[in-house]
Homo-oligomer: A and B are copies of this chain.
Amino acid sequence: MKKIINDPHQVVPEMVNGMVRSYPQIIEKIPNTEAVVRADKDSMKGKVGIVSGGGSGHEPTHAGYVGKGMLSAAVCGQVFTSPTPDQIYEAIKAVNQGNGVYLVVKNYSGDVMNFDMAKDLAAMDDIEVKSIVVDDDIAVENSLYTQGRRGVAGTIFMHKILGAAAQEGASLDEIDKLAHEVLPNIKTIAVALSAATNPEVGKPGFVLKDDEIEFGVGIHSEPGYRREKIKPSKELVDELIDKLDDEMHLSSDKKYACLVNGMGATPLMEQYIFANDVYNKLENFNIKPVFTKVGNYMTSIDMAGISLTLFEIKDDKWLEALNEPVETIGW
């Protein structure tokens, strides 16, 4: 393992310190936690708080999406490890304005359990909390750390849509309704060229041959559904979009947002080439996405690979929400 770190067991506190010290105008640490909250407290006044989080290693997720118009706070667990309920609860308290707090949880058993326990802690203090569990990864039905489907890059669309609604003053019930309307329309699938190396583990989660890729890998090196020799970008895109089409029934009558997401070690050069192939392939369906983003949004430390998310925009307000300006590090 060759990494620019100090102590493998201190990567999260040092990383979170680096993040808040780099962008003090946007985020600050919640004392005695590895959670961050909006520095601009005024923007939270009278609004529902939106809290997300999970294991670290997916930067800029989640702390990079804290800021006006998006998340109110994010809880940074150890690398690939759920944050503890007490830390989540500190974040809930830090953003609570008396109007309730909404939790966006990626579907991993540890996260679901710990966010639920934090919700119970909040209930004892009469803070109303609701939540959504994002399970956008269509690759496999159950996985190493998940019952059902995994939550991956599409989660940031959820963050953005709910963050915009909260900023506009939506109530907790309205946000919960919106989250459940949006959820089934976000679908993601990935391909990996190499696995991530968790600094505390010291070696990659799996090893692919020099000419091998794996379809459907998760963001913690969970297995996908097939290994084979690498193919040209456009053939990768063919397979991934066909899989998404099976789920979503792509149609030129519908509107889509599209996220091409680098896994951490994949250069933008490859991401843009892949994106170009995505737009070509979508043209076969007479689809031109109405919103697109390309970059490292939901990474897996130093994994090489790309995920593709399509989000069917069923309501033009969702598109407006995606286009609302925000003040965050990562969006």
Q: Chain A interface (Cβ within 8 Å of chain B)?
A: 2-7, 11, 14-19, 21-23, 56-57, 59-60, 64, 79, 191, 193-194, 199, 210-213, 230, 232-234, 236, 260, 264-277, 279, 292-294, 296, 299, 301-302, 304, 306
Q: Is the CB of A268 within 8 A of B14?
A: no
11 contacts between A and B (CB under 8 A): A11-B273, A14-B277, A15-B272, A18-B271, A18-B275, A18-B294, A19-B294, A22-B293, A265-B267, A267-B299, A268-B296
In Å, the complex CA distance between A137 and B271 comes to 28
Query: Which B residues are CB-close (under 8 A) to A194?
Result: 2
In Å, the complex CA distance between A307 and B326 comes to 28
Protomer copies: 2
Q: Which of B18, B272, B293 contacts A18 (CB 8 A)?
A: B272
Query: Which B residues are CB-close (under 8 A) to A3?
Result: 193, 270
Q: Which of B230, B292, B293, B301 contacts A2 (CB 8 A)?
A: B230
In Å, the complex CA distance between A267 and B271 comes to 16
A interface, by DSSP: helix, strand, loop or mixed?
Answer: mixed
Query: Which B residues are CB-close (under 8 A) to A302?
Result: 265-267, 304
Most chain B CB neighbours (cut-off 10 Å) among A59, A60, A210, A272: A272
Query: Which B residues are CB-close (under 8 A) to A79?
Result: 269
Most chain B CB neighbours (cut-off 10 Å) among A213, A236, A294: A294
In Å, the complex CA distance between A53 and B178 comes to 44
| 5 residue pairs, one from A and one from B, having the closest CB atoms | A18-B272, A18-B276, A59-B268, A265-B265, A4-B270
Q: Is the CB of B269 within 8 A of A57?
A: yes
Query: Which B residues are CB-close (under 8 A) to A234?
Result: 6
Most chain B CB neighbours (cut-off 10 Å) among A212, A276, A293, A294: A276
Q: Is the CB of B292 within 8 A of A23?
A: yes
Query: Which B residues are CB-close (under 8 A) to A211?
Result: 2
Query: Which B residues are CB-close (under 8 A) to A199?
Result: 269
Query: Which B residues are CB-close (under 8 A) to A268?
Result: 59-60, 64, 264, 296, 299
CB distance from A83 to the nearest CB of B (A): 16
In Å, the complex CA distance between A64 and B2 comes to 29
Q: Which of B19, B293, B299, B306 contacts A4 (CB 8 A)?
A: B306
Q: Is the CB of A4 within 8 A of B275?
A: no
Most chain B CB neighbours (cut-off 10 Å) among A191, A269, A277: A269
CB distance from A69 to the nearest CB of B (A): 14
In Å, the complex CA distance between A17 and B272 comes to 8
In Å, the complex CA distance between A18 and B278 comes to 9
CB nearest neighbor in B for A211: B2
Query: Which B residues are CB-close (under 8 A) to A6?
Result: 232-234, 273, 277
In Å, the complex CA distance between A217 and B91 comes to 42
Q: A14-B276, A22-B275 are in contact. List 11 more A-B contacts (CB 8 A).
A: A2-B193, A3-B270, A11-B273, A14-B273, A15-B269, A16-B272, A17-B276, A18-B274, A19-B275, A59-B272, A264-B268
CB distance from A213 to the nearest CB of B (A): 8
